[in-house]
Structure 1
Amino acid sequence: MPYLICEDCDMSYEVDSGEDPSLYICSQCDGPLIYAEKLGEYGPGPEASEITKIGSSTFTEKMVSRYNFIMYIAAAIFFLSALALYFGYYFAILPLVAFSGIIVSISSRRRSWKKGDKGEKIVAWCLDELPSCIIFNDVNLPSGRGNIDHVIVSPNGLFVLETKNYKGRFAVKGDEWFYKKDKRLIKSKSNPGKQIKRNALSLKKFLNHYMDMDKVWINSLVVMVNGRVDIIDPTPHYNIIRPSQIERAVKIGRSKLDLDTIYSLSCLLQDYSSEMVYRAGYWPEEWTQ
């Protein structure tokens, strides 16, 4: 039986067959719920001793920390301005008004980055469950536009993942995404389809400089982590899946890779990734020395 999980207050809810999970929010905190096929799907994953992780903070984590710092500074100045105004220093009204606007703006941006960070962590936990894969989180290519959330290198192929923590109803028409508001379809400013295709192309161009990629197909996956999202008319040009469907998508990859190719791809990608993850004991010992 599937579940909806709230990571903010650690609550979980069973979803009966036929129910629409997008209608639910957490009864404790009114926060978004994450869809999972089984309870514990987004737990800590395999034992730490089974997994090797090499790397640092991702770009999204750094942006969350940056906005947290700016938020604390702005809040402190706002508080001091309010205190000064209370004691009759009326000139303090100017920074009070200015920083109230800054706090509102920063709060919205910080919330957006935190939402994205949570989505990437959920997918990263799911990727930890893949035994025969090498995972690269937060890949920043020298010629790329923006970062790639996740890249999977496995015997079943090469995969690029774009993680989205959206909620609501979306329709996909070719390369465009629209969100449904009442009975209208409104063009979305953010377009996961174009992002995933651009990232796959950037990765292909980067790898082509060092090795023959003509026979290697890059599988594109858009991963929707929020249980309150519904996709209408998904496109055939890339897969739109839930985190629980990643393992199956990897198993049916369109191109097979031999160990030499996997090793070469991993050597090229590790210097451009914030984190590389693999299971110790699965790969040849000389790879991990």
Structure 2
Amino acid sequence: MVVIGPNGIFVIETKNYTGKYLIKGNNWFYYKNGKYHETKTNPAKQVLRNTMELKSFLETKGVDSSIWYQAIVAFKSYSFKVSGKPKAYRVLLPQTVPEYILNQKRNYDLEILKKAAIELEPYCVELSFLNKQ
């Protein structure tokens, strides 16, 4: 999912994991049988790769490269626990994502952000635009 707003572009990877996880850098480990094991699929690498690919794509379309991009991994399940704090992305519950986005203190030219939304529109299943003036 991609959210574009006056405070940046947010790339959100939603997962339905359960259990206990540990984050070290960009590596994820799950707890099983009394110890941590590295995960086979890594939501951090996935969301960071998607964020960089989106940024590259929009730059080729002329979207200003100074726009701030934030990668977010959102967990649908309440039955997961994660320890460790990643530096290059955030791990959130889905219901906290809107507040997190709204509380960012950046402001960008709305015309640049509109251009980003227009460039992504052909690839969207759903596109909403709210113009609060």
TM-score w.r.t. the length of structure 1 is 0.44
Give the partner amino acid of 1:184.
K
The reply to whether residue 227 of structure 1 matches residue 57 of structure 2 is no
Deviations 1:161-207 (Å, cap 9, x if unpaired)? 00000000010111111100132111101100000100000001101
CA offset at residue 265 of structure 1?
A: 0.9
**Higher RCO (CA-CA < 8 Å; seq separation 6+):** 2
Residue 184 of structure 1: aligned partner: 35
Give the helix-richer structure, 1 or 2: 1
CA offset at residue 278 of structure 1?
A: 3.4
Q: Measure, in 2, the Cα distance between the counterparts of 1:194 and 1:241.
A: 16
**1:169 and 1:230 in contact (8 A); partners too:** yes
Runs (5+) with no aligned partner, structure 2: none
Q: Measure, in 2, the Cα distance between the counterparts of 1:236 and 1:185.
A: 21
SS at match of 2:55: helix
Rg bigger for which structure?
Answer: 1
Give the strand-richer structure, 1 or 2: 2
> Which range moves more in the overlay, 154-163 or 204-213?
204-213
Residue 22 of structure 2: aligned partner: 171
SS at match of 2:128: strand
Q: Measure, in 2, the Cα distance between the counterparts of 1:252 and 1:206.
A: 26
Q: Measure, in 1, the Cα distance between the counterparts of 2:42 and 2:6.
A: 30
Q: Measure, in 2, the Cα distance between the counterparts of 1:277 and 1:218.
A: 19
Aligned pairs for 1:37-48 within 5 A: none
The reply to whether residue 160 of structure 1 matches residue 14 of structure 2 is no
Residue-pair matches, total: 133
Residue 209 of structure 1: aligned partner: 60
Give the partner amino acid of 2:14.
T
Q: Measure, in 2, the Cα distance between the counterparts of 1:244 and 1:208.
A: 30
CA offset at residue 245 of structure 1?
A: 1.0
SS at match of 1:247: helix
Residue 244 of structure 1: aligned partner: 95
**1:216 and 1:255 in contact (8 A); partners too:** no
SS at match of 1:249: helix
CA offset at residue 273 of structure 1?
A: 1.4
**1:175 and 1:193 in contact (8 A); partners too:** yes
Residue 199 of structure 1: aligned partner: 50
TM-score w.r.t. the length of structure 2 is 0.91
Cα 1:217–1:206 shift into 2, 3 Å: same
SS at match of 1:277: coil
Report sequence identity in percent: 29
**2:22 and 2:30 in contact (8 A); partners too:** yes
**1:204 and 1:213 in contact (8 A); partners too:** no
Q: Measure, in 2, the Cα distance between the counterparts of 1:155 and 1:165.
A: 29
Q: Measure, in 1, the Cα distance between the counterparts of 2:120 and 2:16.
A: 25
CA offset at residue 254 of structure 1?
A: 5.9
Q: Measure, in 1, the Cα distance between the counterparts of 2:18 and 2:69.
A: 27
Q: Measure, in 1, the Cα distance between the counterparts of 2:112 and 2:29.
A: 38
Q: Measure, in 2, the Cα distance between the counterparts of 1:262 and 1:240.
A: 24
**1:171 and 1:233 in contact (8 A); partners too:** yes
Q: Measure, in 2, the Cα distance between the counterparts of 1:254 and 1:222.
A: 20
